[in-house]
Amino acid sequence: MDALQRARELVGGARSVVVLSGAGISAESGVPTFRGEDGLWKSFRPEQLATPAAFAADPRLVWEWYAWRRERVAACRPNPGHEALARFCGARDATLVTQNVDGLHRLAATDHAGKSVAEAGHELLELHGSLFAVRCTGCTFRRAHRDPVDATTRDALPRCPSCGGLLRPDVVWFGEALDAGVLGRAFEAAAAADLCLVVGTSALVHPAASVPLAAVRSGARLVEVNPEPTPLSSLADAVLRGPAGTLLPALLS
């Protein structure tokens, strides 16, 4: 039996599913991945930009990078991989855990069901936050934020309406703790799952990459969708070596 048949059998027989997605699921939507040949980290070094120290040292440069990414992502649409996953998760007990900050899973869930993600019946956990939200560096203020950011001068950077503090992208940077509630729910879903589907992640960033490990430790079967091998490939019961935009519709229909 080929890998797709094996994977379809595992999906068909699963009672509770946890999905972990990474930047690869958005590659076919035109969102650059982190470590690919056109990867974001190629043009910028992570320690230079995606850390609290970098923001403290040069908030204008960090905002310039995020403003550029927002602009690029705002022009992108969910691809058939996001849509197949939204239909699949909306129809059963499935938790979608994503490392992506591009908001495309949220968009796909809304497009597909025409309802909000919550109404669409499945849980979406954005472990690393969202490009389209900001939070204050000086108080607890945070909100959705899609307005273009003028990062040309430090004085033009967005300010908190309640305390005047500098606003920052509401994402989790390297060296920062993830939201304990969101991470807790991801590990709960992993412990309860009998199937873990890992899509489009190099599985290098923790604690996100530990979610599939927790699922396997609790007895879940593992299916990986990725054109490249990753540290999780050796744990997988079925590996689909190819693009999510083609393989997820074939796997989940």
Gap between the Cα atoms of 117 and 112, Å rounded: 10
Q: Report d(CA 188, CA 97) in Å as an integer.
A: 11
Query: 195-199 and 123-126: which strand pairing?
Result: unpaired
Of these residues, 112, 128, 145, 206, which one is catalytic?
128
Q: Enumerate binding residues for ligand BV8 (CB under 6 A).
A: 22-25, 27-28, 33-36, 39, 50, 99-101, 128, 171-177, 200-202, 204-206, 225-228, 230, 243-245
- By CB under 5 A, tell whether 108 contacts Zn ion: no
d(CA 238, CA 228): 14
Nearest to 168 by CA among 68, 72, 56: 56
Q: Find the angle CA(95)-CA(98)-CA(99) to the nearest 5 degrees.
A: 155
Closest separation in Å from C-beta 164 to ligand BV8: 25
* Sign, CA torsion 28/193/233/126: positive
Whichever of 56 and 163 has its CB closer to ligand BV8, that residue is 56
Tell me 119's DSSP state. T
By three-state DSSP, how is residue 246 classified? helix
Verify binding: residue 94, Zn ion, rule CB under 5 A.
Answer: no
136 binding partner (options Zn ion, ligand BV8, none; Cβ < 5 to 8 Å by kind): Zn ion
> Is position 165 an interface residue for Zn ion (rule: CB under 5 A)?
yes
If binding is defined by CB under 5 A, does position 232 make contact with Zn ion? Answer: no
Whether residue 230 contacts residue 201, with contact meaning beta carbons closer than 8 Å, is answered with yes
Q: Which of ligand BV8, Zn ion, none lies near 138, with the C-beta cut-off 5 to 8 A by kind? A: Zn ion
Q: Is 78 helix (H, G, I), strand (E, B) or coil?
A: coil
Q: Which stretch binds Zn ion (CB under 5 A): 138-146, 147-155, 182-190, 195-203?
A: 138-146
The residue type of 110 is T
Comparing CB distances to ligand BV8, the nearer of 161 and 175 is 175
Counting contacts by CB under 5 A, is residue 207 touching Zn ion?
Answer: no
Distance of closest approach, residue 104 Cβ to ligand BV8, in angstroms: 12
- Quote the radius of gyration of the chain (alpha carbons, Å): 18
Contact of residue 141 among ligand BV8, Zn ion, none (CB under 5-8 Å per partner type): Zn ion
Is 204 an interacting residue with respect to Zn ion (CB under 5 A)? no
Site for Zn ion contains 136 (CB under 5 A) = yes
* 157 is a contact residue toward Zn ion (CB under 5 A): no
Q: Which one of ligand BV8, Zn ion, none interacts with residue 75, CB within 5 to 8 A by kind?
A: none
Question: Does 128 qualify as catalytic in the annotation?
Answer: yes
C-alpha atoms less than 13 angstroms from C-alpha of 130 in its C-beta half-sphere: 18
The site for Zn ion (CB under 5 A) is made up of 136, 138-139, 141, 160, 163, 165
Known catalytic residues are: 128
